[in-house]
């Protein structure tokens, strides 16, 4: 295969807006992580665009904001902009971005032969025109605002592009057909540059979930997710997005030193004709033909292809037909190497309709950049209809795999697109030739100029440039050139003279942005004083940098004919050369103040005296007395003029400075002066002034558009119903529908069906227990958690629910809103007793720190917190001593006022200052909260000044007596979307319910269960615990260690969990139990485990509901791990089903206390807040948990998406860090062995070290 053929096209510019990503770094990270970007429709977007949400909308790969538009940039009125379909508005901005990312400014293409080919929206969804009111539809601007033909024409018109403009609609293959046509136009020289792209959006009423299998055209996924090539595939899901590519002939791009993202070697298109079963059905024969044709035109064989981005819509029949066509294409050139990997990006984003091929092209380029082939999202088990055999020439990419280049060093990919219209397209895409990075032998100072439309956009732009500099290896010269010559310059400006890349990076971090109004551009004058000494070195330096300056110097030397210039001649030449220099940049002057030789230079500048003549006249001594009063009069008449001073040491300059005139001196860096002129709003002719055009283009961010709200009044909105205050199940539903409604709400999986396995849809023992409570309450039955976990499908569990005998269950007390005091619950009594023993410490503080990159809206946060406090009585609750007991009392709500504090880390950058900040915050949250304070809470706003700017932290601290981990969900939900949960039952009412329950029949049953469950149990003594005196809680002051479980281990554990119908949480609990056996040599192990312990009516109430239950299981080290796993599974499910007995009562039964037992905790991370009263606010949840230990050992396993993190909290009074680290590593190594070797090994094998690792406990024996 030849590296390059003449008929090739280069992709020189790219822009894209895809779900959750708009930069290469974001896209590569998202694809590498196998992220699913399908999600519920944004409430913010719904509100901005007049859409009513009913909760039954399909999920999709939605874009977050489509209402914002920078209409001023395109010289449009807001009214006209509002009537332009948002697809076409977004294409305008994306076209500009593609041009800018290529290193060009729009003016560079104005008036040129530039083709514009747009994939027009051709779906069944409405255009904006159909959504407008009758009055707006009567406006002619509305009709042309949604006209598909103008999708391309509007770009050509507004950018003054003179090439062909076409909007193309072939269904799902529209973009690739447009790309094919653009390549042909370039090769036939119909145009010299081509912009190709488009945008797909869903407007108007959103697609709704429909019961049954027949949705839409039979190609819509029942789960809203595309599962390419997977056995569970049943159609495509909705996706949105858009973008553009800027194309040039490869020879032109190479000549112009353009950025080359990819090379299009060849393409082909055809139609199914009569070869399919219907007009919308695909044809494998036609697909084979179009692929082979593209290979032939690209002058390659199937052996040259390393990856193919398939159409891959995830339809049950479509995927097998496509794979069959691919396999037959390879029959023409049998595969010699390993199989070609294939995938489809639709698993990540959904189906982008006409822009589907664009998303595929972006994935290919991202893979070129990463030299990695990314996994296929949602691909687990191959569709049984796929013709995949061991010797098949293709293989589905199921993991991140290095993309090794072929023998000749070229990576080549295929890209397929098949339209519902029957139009098929295939492209052959090649990575660009790698060019060596040229390193400058020495860096010289460079002028950096940056601009945007307003101050906010400029600040955002400078931040994005700072980020780009950290992730790319560009030379300072290339950066300066592109920002100066490859960007259009707007009103709000910033400049800096950088000596090195490091200097520029520092300047971008510490930037200060000033706003200069374009309408107040200053006038400029020149100061030419009398004779001064001139620095020869400075003359030489400026001759090298500025052609106009150099030309005057050479002219003077040629006139003198080899003689040395006299001092007056040198000085005259110096002044005239600078005048020529500034004139070359296009700077016009309104006045020149001259004195002595300077006056002669002014006459030369004004054309009154020829320069050659002046060189000889300058020999005459000039002596004129200056009149300061006259200069003051000049100043009064020209206060708006800024003077550029060429002779700062002269008498004239000194008088002018004393008068107070505004001056710039060229004795400092001339680049600084040019930067100041640029910042003032003057547009300079950089190419002419520096004497060169852009030598090389690099990809840098462009100025962001100002996203101003721009949405018309659409057809009448349906008023949204307020969110339900509590979950209510429709009692008229069938058992099946009741079960599905409950499980969809609990698991947040709206597409669950009865055919699903509980484990496959994210079920575990904790949310399973939640479901059991709800289903029992809704149906009036009594099922056990084991019934759910051992059912192979939800349908099987539903059958159990139908067969269960209804019973009369006591209805819990409803809210007693008038009660403002009450006794402590069992959970609270345990905490209160510990506090009484140890004194008030920070061990029972429950803090959170929300870290914001931008300033927090204090007024908004205080308002939200005040509303939360008003709705949630436990946030204004405190302890009081009554006659015979301690009680909790609710106090009236008071407005929340944040306590403001400041810390200065001004000499520390954020990157190295974060550990310092974390330590500061941990000290603060360790300060005790007294439960007797009214109320025991702290609301604080911490401002930290780092070297690179101000950051703020919202620090909230509550007392565990009145607040548990679940309660954060309610706080975060209110801060995220301003939806305040209204409690169905308050906490004091719950305390009455608990007291009555424990004193009644249910309480006796709980005591009986735990008495039997813990009968004969002994609490194993940990090494060192014999030094602990009962009640010496202070000895549990602790520390913690963190460790991340490798992704490979997580995948292995999940696979084993699925095979044996357990949860990964149960596997890890069993390993923890086994580790306790290894540590203590006791086979009968008791482990503490927290449970949420909330009934459905308590889920919207803040309070201390969390309880600790005991898991008891025996370990026999000679038996397989699987046997231990089944025992722990049974023991844990039984314990969870009886978790309402307070932990202090349980400890009394076991005859021990928390001091003698270890804890296992497993939970999903609470999603952090992403909004604190400001748009586009990034909020990070900091890890500031106090290091106090409530148990000697506490292992916390936290699940973040696909990741698992471990944290071991331990009593530093009992154990050193070395032994604690050893135990954590033992736990992790055991998980690794299980993930690799399975569950058949015995317990000895879990901890059998092959590296002769010594045991830190010398007296321990097996």
pLDDT at 886 over 90: no
Q: Which of 288-302, 710-724, 824-838, 1010-1024 has the lowest mean pLDDT?
A: 710-724
Instruction: Give the confidence band of 939 by pLDDT, cuts at 50, 70, 90.
Output: very high
Distance of CA 963 to the CA centre of its chain: 31
pLDDT at 76 over 50: yes
H or E segment at 681? none
H or E segment at 1209? strand 1203-1211
Instruction: Give the confidence band of 1175 by pLDDT, cuts at 50, 70, 90.
Output: low
Bridge partners, 846 (sequence order)? 958
* Higher pLDDT among residues 180 and 629, named by residue: 180
Q: What is the DSSP letter of 842?
A: G
Q: Which alpha helices (DSSP H) does 851-909 contain, by range?
A: 858-871
* Higher pLDDT among residues 866 and 1153, named by residue: 866
What pLDDT, on the 0 to 100 scale, is given for residue 1059? 82
Mean predicted confidence (pLDDT) in 1242-1261: 52
Round to whole Å and give the CA distance between 1230 and 1074: 10
Helix axes 501-509, 476-485, angle to 10 degrees: 60
Q: What is the DSSP letter of 391?
A: T
Instruction: Give the confidence band of 845 by pLDDT, cuts at 50, 70, 90.
Output: confident
* Higher pLDDT among residues 1201 and 481, named by residue: 481
Sheet holding 641-645, edge to edge: 591-594, 523-528, 641-645, 663-665
pLDDT at 1167 over 80: no
Nearest to 230 by CA among 330, 287, 312: 312
Round to whole Å and give the CA distance between 320 and 228: 10
H or E segment at 61? strand 60-61
What pLDDT, on the 0 to 100 scale, is given for residue 229? 94
Round to whole Å and give the CA distance between 1042 and 1037: 17
Q: Which of 2-16, 878-892, 1030-1044 has the lowest mean pLDDT?
A: 1030-1044
Q: 917-930: per-residue pLDDT in tens?
A: 888 888 888 888 88
pLDDT at 25 over 70: yes
Mean predicted confidence (pLDDT) in 1004-1008: 88
What are residue 758's phi and psi, to 5 degrees? Answer: -55, -40
Q: What percent of the chain has pLDDT over 70?
A: 86
Round to whole Å and give the CA distance between 1231 and 1238: 10
Round to whole Å and give the CA distance between 1073 and 1083: 9
pLDDT at 718 over 70: no
Instruction: Give the confidence band of 66 by pLDDT, cuts at 50, 70, 90.
Output: very high
Is residue 568 within 8 A of residue 647, CB to CB? The reply is: no
What pLDDT, on the 0 to 100 scale, is given for residue 811? 44
Mean predicted confidence (pLDDT) in 1085-1091: 88
* Domain spans, the chain: 9-430, 439-520+691-706, 522-680, 735-803, 821-985, 1000-1026+1035-1168+1177-1246
Query: Which superfamily is assigned to 735-803 in CATH?
Result: ACP-like (1.10.1200.10)
Q: What is the DSSP letter of 910?
A: H
Among 474-488, 709-723, 921-935, which range has the highest average pLDDT? 474-488
Q: 342-351: per-residue pLDDT in tens?
A: 999 999 999 9
Q: Which of 101-105, 181-185, 483-487, 859-863 has the lowest mean pLDDT?
A: 859-863
What pLDDT, on the 0 to 100 scale, is given for residue 1249? 53
Instruction: Give the confidence band of 1037 by pLDDT, cuts at 50, 70, 90.
Output: low
Mean predicted confidence (pLDDT) in 795-814: 63
pLDDT at 103 over 50: yes
First to last CA, the chain: 65
Helix axes 1064-1080, 1047-1059, angle to 10 degrees: 100
Round to whole Å and give the CA distance between 400 and 366: 13
Pick the CATH number of 522-680 from 3.60.20.10, 3.40.366.10, 3.40.718.10, 3.30.230.10: 3.40.366.10
What pLDDT, on the 0 to 100 scale, is given for residue 705? 93
pLDDT at 885 over 90: no
What pLDDT, on the 0 to 100 scale, is given for residue 1027? 45
pLDDT at 1032 over 60: no
pTM of the model as a whole: 0.59
Nearest to 182 by CA among 374, 427, 430: 427
- Spatial CB neighbours of 434, under 8 Å, sequence gap ≥ 6: none
Instruction: Give the confidence band of 772 by pLDDT, cuts at 50, 70, 90.
Output: confident
Question: What DSSP line would sit under 985-1050, residue for residue?
Answer: S-HHHHHHHHHHHHHSHHHHHHHHHHHHHTTT--PPPPTTGGGPPTT-GGGG-EEEEEEEEPHHHH
Q: 628-656: per-residue pLDDT in tens?
A: 777 778 777 777 788 888 877 777 777 87
Q: How many residues does the chain have?
A: 1262
State the CATH architecture for 821-985. 2-Layer Sandwich (3.30)
Strands (E) located in 381-513: 394-396, 401-402, 412-418, 423-430, 446-452, 492-498
**Beta-strand pair 238-239/241-249:** unpaired
Give the CA distances from residue 638 to residues 665, 678, 1123, in Å, rounded to whole numbers and listed in that order. 18, 21, 94
Instruction: Give the confidence band of 1259 by pLDDT, cuts at 50, 70, 90.
Output: very low
Round to whole Å and give the CA distance between 864 and 858: 10
What pLDDT, on the 0 to 100 scale, is given for residue 733? 65
Instruction: Give the confidence band of 916 by pLDDT, cuts at 50, 70, 90.
Output: confident
The CATH classification number of 439-520+691-706 equals 3.30.70.3290
Distance of CA 1180 to the CA centre of its chain: 12
What pLDDT, on the 0 to 100 scale, is given for residue 1030? 39
What pLDDT, on the 0 to 100 scale, is given for residue 254? 94
Q: Which of 160-169, 192-201, 328-337, 359-368 has the lowest mean pLDDT?
A: 328-337
The HSE-up count of residue 101 (CA atoms within 13 Å, CB side) is 26
CATH class of 9-430: alpha beta
Instruction: Give the confidence band of 449 by pLDDT, cuts at 50, 70, 90.
Output: very high
Q: Which of 39-48, 111-120, 852-861, 1246-1255 has the lowest mean pLDDT?
A: 1246-1255
Round to whole Å and give the CA distance between 184 and 61: 32
pLDDT at 1262 over 60: no
**Burial of 762: CB neighbours in 10 Å, binned 0-12, 13-18, 19+:** middle
Mean predicted confidence (pLDDT) in 832-859: 82
Round to whole Å and give the CA distance between 219 and 451: 47
* Higher pLDDT among residues 5 and 298, named by residue: 298
CATH class of 1000-1026+1035-1168+1177-1246: alpha beta
**Beta-strand pair 114-119/193-200:** parallel
Q: 1123-1147: per-residue pLDDT in tens?
A: 999 888 888 888 888 888 888 788 7
Give the CA distances from residue 1255 to residues 37, 872, 1077, 1219, 1258, in Å, rounded to whole numbers and listed in that order. 46, 51, 14, 9, 6
Mean predicted confidence (pLDDT) in 1205-1223: 85
Question: What DSSP line would sit under 691-729, residue for residue?
Answer: T-----------PPP--EE----BSPPPPPPPPPSS---
336: how many CB neighbours lie within 10 A of its CB?
A: 9
Among 250-259, 785-794, 1050-1059, 1198-1207, which range has the highest average pLDDT? 250-259
Whole-number average pLDDT of the chain:
83
Is residue 165 within 8 A of residue 156, CB to CB? The reply is: yes
Taking the CA atoms of 553, 557, 558 and 560 in sequence, report the sign of the dihedral they define: positive
Bridge partners, 1179 (sequence order)? 852
pLDDT at 815 over 70: no
**Beta-strand pair 238-239/663-665:** unpaired
Mean predicted confidence (pLDDT) in 850-879: 88
**Beta-strand pair 165-168/340-343:** unpaired
What pLDDT, on the 0 to 100 scale, is given for residue 724? 34
**Burial of 163: CB neighbours in 10 Å, binned 0-12, 13-18, 19+:** buried
Give the CA distances from residue 280 to residues 167, 219, 273, 612, 718, in Å, rounded to whole numbers and listed in that order. 22, 11, 11, 81, 35
What pLDDT, on the 0 to 100 scale, is given for residue 234? 87
Instruction: Give the confidence band of 384 by pLDDT, cuts at 50, 70, 90.
Output: confident
Round to whole Å and give the CA distance between 1242 and 1262: 14
Sheet holding 1107-1114, edge to edge: 1038-1045, 1203-1211, 1193-1200, 1158-1164, 1084-1091, 1107-1114
Instruction: Give the confidence band of 1156 by pLDDT, cuts at 50, 70, 90.
Output: low
Instruction: Give the confidence band of 217 by pLDDT, cuts at 50, 70, 90.
Output: very low
Q: 533-548: per-residue pLDDT in tens?
A: 888 888 898 999 999 9
Question: Are the folds of 821-985 and 1000-1026+1035-1168+1177-1246 the same?
Answer: yes
Round to whole Å and give the CA distance between 380 and 232: 9
Round to whole Å and give the CA distance between 667 and 651: 15
């Amino acid at each position: 295969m030849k590296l390059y053929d003449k008929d090739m096209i280069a992709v020189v510019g790219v822009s894209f807006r895809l779900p959750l990503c708009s930069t290469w770094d974001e896209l590569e990270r998202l694809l590498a992580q196998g992220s699913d970007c399908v999600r519920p429709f944004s409430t913010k977007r719904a509100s901005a665009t007049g859409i009513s949400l009913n909760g039954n909308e399909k999920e999709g790969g939605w874009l977050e904001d489509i209402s914002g538009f920078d209409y001023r940039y395109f010289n449009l009125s807001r009214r006209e902009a509002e009537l332009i379909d948002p697809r076409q508005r977004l294409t305008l901005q994306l076209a500009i971005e593609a041009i800018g990312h290529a290193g060009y400014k729009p003016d560079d293409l104005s008036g040129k032969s530039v083709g514009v080919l747009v994939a027009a929206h051709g779906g069944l969804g409405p255009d904006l025109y159909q959504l407008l009111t009758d009055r707006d539809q009567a406006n002619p601007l509305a009709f042309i605002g949604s006209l598909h033909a103008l999708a391309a024409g509007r770009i050509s018109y507004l950018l003054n592009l003179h090439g062909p403009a076409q909007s193309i609609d072939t269904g799902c293959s529209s973009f690739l057909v447009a790309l094919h046509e653009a390549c042909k136009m370039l090769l036939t020289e119909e145009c010299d540059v081509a912009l190709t792209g488009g945008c797909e959006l869903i407007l108007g009423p959103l697609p709704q979930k429909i019961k049954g299998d027949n949705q839409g055209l039979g190609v819509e996924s029942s789960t809203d997710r595309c599962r390419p090539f997977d056995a569970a595939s049943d159609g495509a899901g909705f996706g949105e997005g858009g973008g553009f590519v800027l194309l040039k002939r490869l020879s032109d791009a190479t000549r112009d030193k353009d950025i080359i993202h990819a090379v299009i070697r060849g393409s082909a298109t055809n139609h199914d004709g009569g070869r399919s079963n219907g007009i919308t059905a695909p044809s494998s024969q036609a697909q084979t033909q179009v692929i082979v044709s593209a290979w032939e035109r690209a002058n390659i064989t199937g052996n040259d292809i390393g990856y193919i981005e398939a159409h891959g819509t995830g339809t049950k029949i479509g995927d097998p037909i496509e794979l069959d066509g691919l396999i037959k294409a390879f029959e023409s050139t049998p595969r010699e190497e390993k199989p070609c990997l294939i995938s489809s990006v639709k698993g990540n984003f959904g189906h982008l309709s006409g822009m589907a091929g664009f998303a595929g092209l972006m994935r290919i380029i991202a893979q070129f950049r990463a030299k990695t082939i990314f996994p296929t999202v949602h691909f687990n088990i191959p569709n049984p209809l796929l013709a995949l055999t061991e010797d098949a020439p293709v293989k589905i990419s199921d993991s991140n795999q290095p993309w090794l280049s072929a023998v000749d060093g070229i990576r080549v990919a295929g890209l397929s697109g098949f339209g519902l219209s029957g139009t098929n397209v295939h492209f052959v895409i090649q990575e660009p030739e790698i060019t060596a990075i040229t390193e400058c032998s020495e860096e010289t100072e460079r002028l950096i100029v940056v601009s945007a439309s307003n101050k906010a956009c400029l600040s955002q732009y400078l931040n994005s440039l700072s980020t780009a500099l950290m992730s790319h290896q560009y030379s300072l010269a290339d950066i300066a050139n592109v920002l100066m010559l490859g960007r259009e310059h707007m009103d709000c400006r910033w400049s800096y003279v950088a000596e090195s890349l490091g200097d520029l990076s520092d300047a971008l971090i510490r930037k200060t942005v000033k706003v200069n109004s374009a309408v107040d551009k200053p006038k400029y004058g020149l100061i030419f004083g009398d004779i001064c000494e001139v620095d020869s070195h400075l003359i030489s330096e400026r001759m090298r940098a500025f052609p106009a300056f150099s030309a005057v110097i050479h002219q003077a030397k040629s006139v003198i004919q080899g003689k040395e210039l006299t001092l007056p001649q040198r000085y005259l030449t110096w002044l005239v050369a600078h005048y020529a220099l500034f004139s070359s940049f296009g700077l016009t002057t309104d006045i020149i103040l001259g004195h002595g030789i300077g006056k002669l230079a002014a006459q030369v500048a004004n054309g009154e005296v020829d320069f050659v003549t002046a060189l000889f006249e300058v020999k005459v001594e000039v002596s004129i007395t200056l009149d300061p009063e006259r200069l003051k009069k000049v100043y009064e008449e020209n206060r708006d003029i800024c003077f550029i001073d060429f002779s700062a040491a002269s008498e004239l300059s000194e008088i002018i400075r004393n008068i107070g005139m505004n001056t710039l001196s060229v004795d400092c860096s001339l680049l600084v002066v040019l930067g100041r002129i640029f910042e003032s709003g003057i547009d300079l002719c950089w190419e002419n002034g520096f004497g060169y055009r852009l030598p090389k283009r690099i990809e840098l961010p462009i100025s962001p558009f100002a996203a101003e709200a721009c949405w018309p009044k659409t057809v009448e909105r349906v008023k949204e119903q307020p969110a339900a205050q509590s979950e209510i199940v429709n009692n008229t539903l069938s058992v099946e529908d009741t079960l599905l409604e409950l499980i969809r709400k609990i698991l947040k999986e709206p597409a669950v069906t009865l055919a699903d396995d509980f484990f496959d849809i994210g079920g575990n023992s904790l949310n399973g227990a939640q479901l059991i409570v709800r289903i029992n309450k809704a149906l009036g039955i009594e099922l056990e958690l084991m019934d759910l976990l051992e059912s192979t499908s939800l349908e099987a569990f539903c059958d159990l629910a139908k067969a269960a005998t209804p019973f009369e269950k006591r209805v819990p007390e409803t809210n007693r809103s008038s009660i403002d005091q009450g006794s402590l619950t069992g959970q609270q009594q345990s905490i209160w007793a510990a506090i009484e023993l140890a004194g008030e410490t920070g061990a029972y503080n429950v803090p959170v720190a929300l870290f914001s990159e931008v300033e927090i809206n204090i007024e908004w946060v205080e308002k939200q917190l005040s509303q939360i406090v008003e709705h949630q009585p436990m946030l204004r609750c405190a302890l009081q001593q009554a006659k015979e007991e301690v009680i909790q009392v609710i106090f009236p709500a008071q407005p929340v006022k944040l306590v403001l504090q400041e810390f200065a880390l001004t000499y520390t950058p954020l990157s190295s200052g974060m550990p310092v900040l974390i330590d500061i915050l941990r000290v603060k949250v360790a300060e005790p909260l007294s439960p007797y304070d009214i109320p025991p809470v702290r609301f604080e706003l911490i401002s930290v000044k780092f070297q690179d700017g101000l950051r703020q932290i919202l620090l909230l601290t509550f007392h565990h007596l009145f607040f548990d981990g679940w309660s954060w969900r309610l706080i975060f939900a209110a801060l995220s979307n301003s939806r305040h949960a209204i409690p169905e039952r308050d906490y004091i009412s719950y305390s009455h319910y608990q007291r009555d329950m424990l004193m009644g029949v249910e309480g006796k049953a709980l005591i009986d269960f735990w008495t039997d469950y813990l009968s004969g149990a002994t609490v194993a003594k940990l090494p060192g615990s014999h030094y602990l005196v009962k009640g010496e809680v202070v000895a549990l002051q602790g520390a913690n260690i963190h460790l991340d479980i490798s992704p490979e281990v997580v995948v292995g554990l999940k696979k084993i969990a699925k095979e044996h119908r357990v949860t990964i949480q149960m596997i890890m609990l069993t390993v923890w139990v086994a580790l306790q056996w290894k540590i203590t040599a006791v086979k009968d192990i008791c482990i503490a485990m927290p449970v949420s312990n909330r009934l459905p009516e308590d889920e919207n109430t803040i309070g201390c509901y969390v309880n600790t239950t005991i898991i008891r299981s025996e370990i026999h080290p000679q038996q397989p791990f699987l046997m231990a796993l089944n025992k722990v599974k049974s023991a844990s499910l039984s314990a969870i089903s009886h978790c309402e007995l307070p932990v202090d009562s349980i400890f009394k039964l076991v005859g021990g206390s928390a001091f003698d037992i270890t804890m296992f905790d497993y939970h999903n991370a609470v999603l952090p807040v992403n909004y604190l009263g400001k748009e586009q606010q990034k909020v990070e949840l900091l890890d500031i948990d106090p290091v106090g230990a409530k148990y000697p050992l506490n292992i916390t396993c936290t699940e973040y998406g696909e990741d698992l993190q471990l944290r071991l909290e331990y009593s530093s009074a009992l154990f050193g860090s070395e032994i604690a680290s050893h135990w954590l590593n033992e736990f992790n190594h055991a998980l690794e062995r299980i993930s690799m070797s399975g569950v058949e090994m015995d317990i000895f094998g879990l901890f059998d070290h092959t590296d002769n690792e010594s045991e830190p406990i010398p007296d321990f024996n097996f």
